[in-house]
């Protein structure tokens, strides 16, 4: 299988403040009215099937949906089966059904958002050879009608690890992943290596929640970690990570002087960390590892629309292609951290540092 790296320009691709669409049945609803002209539309259509985290998970799925919305707006499409849409999965059993729904609605391209959709995409794509699919966060081999989109999450995670290693006060740092897998281990391995690169004395505790949609579980795990003296937690857990923010904010309300921080994932999660304590606005988000699922979704959709669908290929987005980075919000970062991130970014891009993809390799 051919493997290519596609660079793309980040600026001006997303409209500022893209509004998250209403959650619902998506493509299972009636087709959107195309303005009442009575003419048949021949516009390119595209859909995405979420994983169980849902389109409003404030993380991975939401980023993909924002990318799809931006693509639609850029190309004059409306939400619905005649433009762009999503179908939300409530359980793993929904994946195959939802992919087939997208095919029946004759979308030109259908995304499966998340590695958990791989078996369903493989099965449906083999049956629906005239349809085009793309999977995010895994690789489907041997099918010319499937594009695989991957990221170098370990590189972006290394950078937020550098921040954590420099700004921890307790030298105790935590990582909470969703479901343990090769993918989530990339986050954990890169993060741990970044911490150790600048602070060899720091301890990194790595745990997995076993789910991406259990905020209560995330809050319980965060509570135990903060109680043990950990002052910074990086989550790569989708909706489960919302519970990490909830616990950090609760602790801040109880003890404003307490050092508790969260490192967000996939999107700039500074909004999730906002909390008002005794009339004073605070923020428990230290930084975030931004994974540009939104731009990757736009990039591949644009290629497909222009009859350049990269079927059978793996497209990988890393630091060099600006597919991963730390968040632009830097209010809680020290000058030392900002300088260190720039330094290590250059080293990684130049090949001076090989970032591990599993924990325990630093």
Q: Tens of pLDDT along 2-48?
A: 444 444 333 333 333 333 333 334 444 333 334 333 344 478 999 99
- Residue 37: what pLDDT? 37
Q: Where are the domains of the chain?
A: 3-151+292-317, 153-290+332-349
Residue 129: CB partners within 8 Å, gap ≥ 6?
145
Distance CA 138, CA 113 (A): 10
- Residue 2: what pLDDT? 40
Q: Answer yes or no: same fold for 3-151+292-317 and 153-290+332-349.
A: yes
Q: Is the pLDDT of residue 179 over 60?
A: yes
Q: Is the pLDDT of residue 146 over 80?
A: yes
In which band, very low, low, confident or very high, does the pLDDT at 157 lie, cut at 50, 70 and 90? very high
- Residue 5: what pLDDT? 40
Q: Which CATH architecture has domain 3-151+292-317?
A: 3-Layer(aba) Sandwich (3.40)
- Residue 362: what pLDDT? 67
Note whether 194 and 160 are within 8 A (CB): yes
Distance CA 159, CA 171 (A): 17
The mean pLDDT value of the chain amounts to 90
Q: Tens of pLDDT along 159-175?
A: 999 999 999 999 999 99
Q: Tens of pLDDT along 262-284?
A: 999 999 999 999 999 999 999 99
Distance CA 16, CA 43 (A): 24
Distance CA 260, CA 229 (A): 9
In which band, very low, low, confident or very high, does the pLDDT at 58 lie, cut at 50, 70 and 90? confident
Note whether 55 and 88 are within 8 A (CB): yes
Q: Is the pLDDT of residue 123 over 70?
A: yes
Least confident of 24-28, 286-290, 338-342: 24-28
Domain 153-290+332-349 of CATH type 3.40.50.2300: yes
- Residue 53: what pLDDT? 84
Concatenating the DSSP letter of every residue in 57-104 gives SSSHHHHHHHHHHHHHHHTT--BSTTSEEEE--SSTTHHHHHHHHHHH
What percent of the chain is modeled with pLDDT above 90? Answer: 84
Q: Is the pLDDT of residue 345 over 60?
A: yes
Concatenating the DSSP letter of every residue in 235-264 gives EE-GGGGHHHHHHHHHHHHH-TTS--EEEE
Q: Give this prediction's pTM.
A: 0.83
């Amino acid at each position: 299988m051919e493997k290519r790296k596609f660079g793309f320009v980040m600026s001006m691709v997303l409209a500022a403040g893209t509004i998250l669409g209403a959650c619902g049945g998506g493509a299972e609803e009636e087709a959107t009215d195309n303005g009442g002209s009575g003419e048949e539309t021949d516009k390119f259509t595209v859909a995405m099937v979420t994983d169980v985290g849902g389109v409003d998970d404030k993380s991975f799925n939401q980023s993909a949906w924002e990318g799809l919305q931006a693509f639609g707006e850029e190309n004059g499409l409306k939400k619905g089966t005649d433009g762009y849409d999503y179908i939300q999965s409530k359980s793993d059993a929904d994946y195959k059904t939802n992919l087939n729904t997208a095919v029946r609605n004759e979308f030109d391209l259908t995304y499966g958002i998340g590695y958990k959709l791989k078996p369903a995409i493989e099965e449906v794509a083999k049956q629906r050879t005239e349809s085009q699919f793309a999977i995010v966060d895994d690789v489907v081999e041997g099918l010319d009608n499937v594009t695989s989109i991957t990221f170098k999450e370990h590189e972006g995670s290394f950078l937020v690890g550098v921040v954590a290693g420099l700004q921890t006060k307790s030298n105790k740092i935590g990582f909470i992943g969703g479901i343990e897998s090769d993918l989530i281990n990339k986050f954990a391995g890169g993060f741990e290596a970044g911490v150790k690169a600048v602070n060899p004395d720091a301890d990194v505790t790595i745990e997995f929640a076993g789910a991406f949609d259990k905020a209560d579980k995330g809050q319980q795990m965060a509570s135990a970690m903060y109680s043990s003296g950990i002052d910074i937690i990086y989550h790569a857990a989708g909706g489960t990570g919302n519970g990490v923010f909830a616990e950090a904010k609760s602790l801040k309300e109880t003890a404003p002087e307490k050092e508790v921080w969260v490192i967000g994932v996939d999107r700039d999660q500074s909004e999730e960390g906002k909390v008002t304590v005794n009339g004073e606005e605070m923020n428990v988000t230290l930084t975030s590892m931004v994974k540009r699922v939104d731009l990757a979704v736009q990039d591949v959709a644009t290629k497909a629309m222009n009859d350049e669908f990269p079927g059978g290929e793996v497209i990988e987005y890393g630091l060099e292609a600006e597919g991963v980075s730390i968040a632009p919000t830097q209010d809680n970062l020290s000058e030392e951290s900002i300088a260190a991130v720039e330094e290590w970014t250059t080293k990684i891009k130049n090949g001076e540092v090989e970032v591990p993809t599993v924990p325990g390799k630093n």
